[in-house]
Amino acid sequence: MSTSTVRGASQRPPRLRFSHFGLSVQDIDAMERFYSDVMGFTVTDRGQALGFDLVFLSRNPDDHHQIVLATGKPANIPPNTVNPIFGPAINQISFWMDGLSELRLLHGKLLDAGVKPITPIDHGLAWSLYFPDPEGNNLEAFVDPPWYIAAPRATARIRTGGPRSRPRWRRAPPA
């Protein structure tokens, strides 16, 4: 009898599914406003525990929280050494969008909120906008196109006709 059998474990991985993530924050009020007003999350609870101020947010009635904001983030965390758009520890937190019209709606909200930079990238298997939250965590909002294209692939796209025009995307010139 193997050791794993004695311990009651099998060879298969345990059943789990992703639930939520927690962000350490400096300005919990600004972060709550962004995730509520721009990203559309609902504050489901708030309080103190273990020395933290905590805010719980969700966009799914079946999940008490999908995001936890917790105080205690140290100042002056250095940037990512390869590309400063991507975070030093969290490379990206990504959200499915329910079609291009929803992605455009979010884009308008990001512009209204003064979020910069907003970086559109065509991954082939995802049409994405990357943008920072108020504390520089890199977020991605993306649409699944109806086909598969092997990853990784990243083609920068730029918007033609000005920031408020009807979005028409064309391939960006080489940097």
CB of 80 to Fe ion, least distance (A): 15
Q: How many residues bind Fe ion (CB under 5 A)?
A: 2
Beta bridge partners of 87: none
Instruction: Work out the angle at residue 93's Cα, subtended by the Cα atoms of residues 82 and 148, and round it to the nearest 5 degrees.
Output: 90
CA-based angle 127:62:89, to the nearest 5? 50
Beta-bridged to residue 119, according to DSSP, are 130
Closer to Fe ion by Cβ: residue 94 or 155:
94
Stretch that binds Fe ion, among 35-43, 88-96, 106-114, 166-174 (CB under 5 A): 88-96
DSSP code of 85? T
Specify the stretch interacting with Fe ion by CB under 5 A; choose among 28-36, 106-114, 133-141, 149-157. 133-141
Say if strands 138-143 and 155-159 run parallel, antiparallel, or are unpaired.
unpaired
Minimum Å gap between C-beta 82 and Fe ion is 15
Interface pattern 90-129 for Fe ion (x via CB under 5 A): ----x-----------------------------------
| Cβ closest to Fe ion, residue 70 vs residue 126 | 126
Asked if residue 140 binds Fe ion (CB under 5 A), the reply is: yes
CB of 121 within 8 A of CB of 130? yes
**Residue numbers 19-78 binding Fe ion by CB under 5 A:** none
Nearer Cβ to Fe ion (122/140): 140
Instruction: Point out the residue whose Cβ comes nearest to Fe ion.
Output: 94
Stated as kind and residue range, the H or E segment containing 171 is: strand 169-171
* DSSP sequence for 99-133: SHHHHHHHHHHHHHTT----EEEE-SS-EEEEEE-
- Site of interaction with Fe ion (CB under 5 A): 94, 140
